[in-house]
Amino acid sequence: MKKALLSLHAAIFLAGFSGILGRLITLNEGLLVWWRLFITSCTLAMIFLFTGGLQKVALSLHLRILATGAVVALHWVLFYGSIKYANVSVALVCFSAIGFFSAFLEPLILHRKIDWVEVLYGTLAIAGIWLIFHFDKQYKLGILLGIISSLFAALFPVLNKKIIRHISPQSLTFYELTGGLIVLTLSMPFYLGFFPEDHVMPTAGDFLWLLVLGWFCTVLAFNLSLQALKKISPFTVNLSYNLEPVYGIILAFIVYDEHEYLSSGFYCGLSLILLTVALQTRRLYYRRA
């Protein structure tokens, strides 16, 4: 159990660290995500080539997985865009809007009743983001991108909920990330037309960080989560991932001294968001008990 908990929190830490890498890599957000998907897909393909175990699925399911992969790619592009136009801390706080969108998307797609307490907590998180927007208007574009990113992040697990019963998690991850890579590759000529970039090839430093992002923050983090699931319930895993923005913001404060550029509005908004996480955690804990 101790090893499983360490694996879980290592995975969450790596997920939080991906935001730091988004600022370190000089490529624009679209190219950054394309290279992340390319490195991750190639790595997983090599793993399946040597170990086997890649599950075959029907064409109709492939199309659903492709659409879900496109959602993941778009979420990442918007998330890293939020980092580029604001900073790591603001992007991670905006990610907290995922609860608000999940409160409506899950009942709509999975055909269950709306939980109005979840709506309330999600609205409080939105209020926290509004406080940051109100006091830190220089980040308005980054905040807008971060909120839209959280919408796609909320949609991703809901779509996966209907797919995962037909395919193993390892195969699903490979197909989704490869699907995201295909969609982004087809979209790249149009994307670069609107957002031209001086260079599409990463520098030596960028490529090193992209390898860290692809191998450690994606492939390794995913495998650590799977190892943790052998001993820990999915409920505990999902609940623990509420710490991802906290880890990421602490890292941003340490690495980039971002606390020097944030106003009191940021801390008021962050406090309100952390309160909603604590209330929802307490509610889920007693419901589970």
Mean pLDDT, 10 residues at a time, the chain of 289 residues: 76 84 91 95 91 86 90 93 87 78 78 78 76 70 89 82 79 90 94 86 93 90 72 57 73 76 72 74 61
Measured CA to CA, the distance from residue 190 to residue 77 in angstroms comes to: 14
Q: Which amino acid is at 36?
A: R
Greatest Cα pair distance, the chain, in angstroms, is 56
* Burial degree of 228 (CB within 10 A; 0-12, 13-18, 19+): buried
Q: Are 133 and 140 in contact (CB under 8 A)?
A: yes
pLDDT value at residue 281: 63
> Cα–Cα distance between 75 and 243 in angstroms, integer?
19
Of 16, 277, 28, residue with least CA distance to 145: 28
Q: What is the pTM of this model?
A: 0.82
pLDDT of residue 76: 92
| Predicted pLDDT at 30 | 94
3 state DSSP class of 12: helix
CB 276 within 8 A of CB 128: yes
Does residue 21 contact residue 237 with C-beta atoms inside 8 Å?
no
pLDDT at 171: 86
Closest CA to 93 of 275, 266, 241, 285: 266
Q: Which two tokens stand for residue 36?
A: 């992340």
Please report the pLDDT score of residue 98 as a whole number: 77
Residue 104 one-letter amino acid: F
Please tell me the distance from the alpha carbon of residue 274 to that of residue 289, in angstroms, as a whole number: 22
Q: Smallest Cα–Cα separation from 112: which of 121, 122, 102, 120?
A: 102
